[in-house]
Amino acid sequence: MVWIPICYYFDTTVRHSLGLDWGDRGYWKVVAPHEVAHQWWGHTVGFASGRDQWMSEGFADMSASLYISMIEKNPKKFTEFWNDERELLLERNAQGFRAIDAGPLTMGYRASNSRTGFDVTRRLIYPKGAYILHMMRMMMWDRKTGDQNFKAAMQDFVKTYSGKAATTEDFKAMMEKHMTPEMDLEGNHRLDWFFNEYVYGTALPTYKFDSSFDQDANGDVVFGFKVTQSGVDDKFRMLVPIYLELADGQTVNLGRARLIGNTTVDQKVPLKGLKDMPKRALVNYNDDVLASN
């Protein structure tokens, strides 16, 4: 049996009158797979306290996005889902607050009050928790093995904490156990940099991207790009994925730019063996990083 809230069957007008005014977005579009996912996140693996509840709701939301992409096989709906999640985090509520600014995920339901608005926690732990797990997946993704690293990490997490209550630090330690060398941005085999930014902090970077294509003497494509990270402190670190849409319409992950603080990476990369000009280059194609754009 799967519990589905009765408000799922209300139309948007009724939801609004009840104060459920995040509208027909995010959770409402994927309520069934979200609730099914709680078999793992919240039931199989519990959360130790209100500071850790973001994992239950966020992981269930992220799992719903996997359902969209792998079962429904709907790229457009997948993109819309993450756009909805980001919008819930970044739009201002009636009290003038953006959920992402109200506090860290570990505030849990204490972030909602008469001053910030009682909808803040709903707009924070569901979408941001989903983004955090999604970002882990995208950083662990490998061109040769795909999601193998991420699957191993999450299966290990479930096996280790099955029937137990996990903490945020338990999750962090598991991700550190399975992190790739590329994710070791501080050279200490820890993910403090990421958790301090997104779990225990309220950071939100902005990215600007410019690109060009040329050919060398051998006819191979030379890819030039400039990506700028801004709106963060000097310690903020991120792996920013760069994608190419090839001439045949296929979109591929070319690699990740390493950025620290408010900075710009400007490079030219020879693409050996590629003769046909790509259609375009993109950053954050799969909403790999929670950013303002």
288 inside domain: no
| Residue 154 sits in the same domain as residue 99 | yes
pLDDT reported for residue 25: 66
Q: Indicate the pTM of the whole model.
A: 0.92
CA-based Rg of the chain, rounded to a whole angstrom? 20
What pLDDT is recorded for position 22? 55
Q: 58 and 171 in contact (C-beta within 8 Å)?
A: no
Position 135 in a domain: yes
Check whether 19 has a pLDDT greater than 80. Answer: no
Minimum mean pLDDT range among 74-83, 147-156, 205-214: 74-83
Nearest to 123, CA basis, from 88, 94, 91, 98: 88
Amino acid letter for position 237: R
290 in any annotated domain: no
Asked if 110 and 211 sit in the same domain, the reply is no
Q: Say if residue 215 is in the same domain as residue 254.
A: yes
Q: How far apart are CA 211 and CA 221, in angstroms?
A: 13
Q: What is the DSSP letter of 278?
A: P
User: Of residues 279 and 29, which shows the higher confidence score?
Assistant: 279
Mean pLDDT of 160-180: 98
Residue 97 placed within a domain = yes
Decide if 49 is inside a domain.
yes
Instruction: Among 198, 216, 235, give the residue marking a domain's end.
Output: 198
- pLDDT confidence tier of residue 89, bands split at 50, 70 and 90: very high
Q: How many domains is the chain built from?
A: 2
CATH value at residue 128: 1.10.390.10
- Same domain membership, residue 147 and residue 234: no
Residue 224 has pLDDT above 80, yes or no: yes
Residue 107: pLDDT band with limits 50, 70, 90:
very high
Same domain assignment for residues 266 and 173? no
Domain annotation covers residue 39 = yes
- Residues 214-241 have a mean pLDDT of 97
Mean pLDDT of 198-223: 97
Same structural domain, 235 and 192: no
- Clarify whether residues 41 and 60 are in a common domain: yes
Residue 100: what pLDDT? 95
Cα 90 from chain centre: 14
Asked if residue 183 and residue 41 are part of one domain, the reply reads yes
Q: What does pLDDT average to over the chain?
A: 93
Q: Answer yes or no: is pLDDT of 23 > 60.
A: no
If asked whether residues 81 and 137 sit together in one domain, one would say yes
3-state SS record for 58-116: HHHHHHHHHHHHHHHCCHHHHHHHHHHHHHHHHCECCCCCEHHHHCCHHHHHHHCECCC
Domain termination site, one of 182, 198, 214: 198
User: Contact 184/67 with Cβ under 8 angstroms?
Assistant: no
**Residue that terminates a domain, selected from 158, 176, 198:** 198
pLDDT at residue 11 is higher than 90: no
Specify if 61 maps to a domain.
yes
Amino acid 10: pLDDT: 82
- Are 138 and 114 in the same domain? yes
Q: What integer pLDDT is reported at residue 26 of this predicted model?
A: 62
What's the pLDDT score for residue 18? 77
What mean pLDDT is predicted for residues 47-67? 96
Angle, CA of 188, 189 and 194, to the nearest 5°: 95
Q: Is residue 292 part of a domain?
A: no
Domain span at 214: 206-283
Q: What are the tens digits of pLDDT across the range 175-195?
A: 999 999 999 999 999 999 999
Instruction: Please say if the pLDDT value at position 269 is more than 90.
Output: yes
Give yes or no: residues 129 and 217 share one domain: no
Q: Do 188 and 141 sit in the same domain of this protein?
A: yes
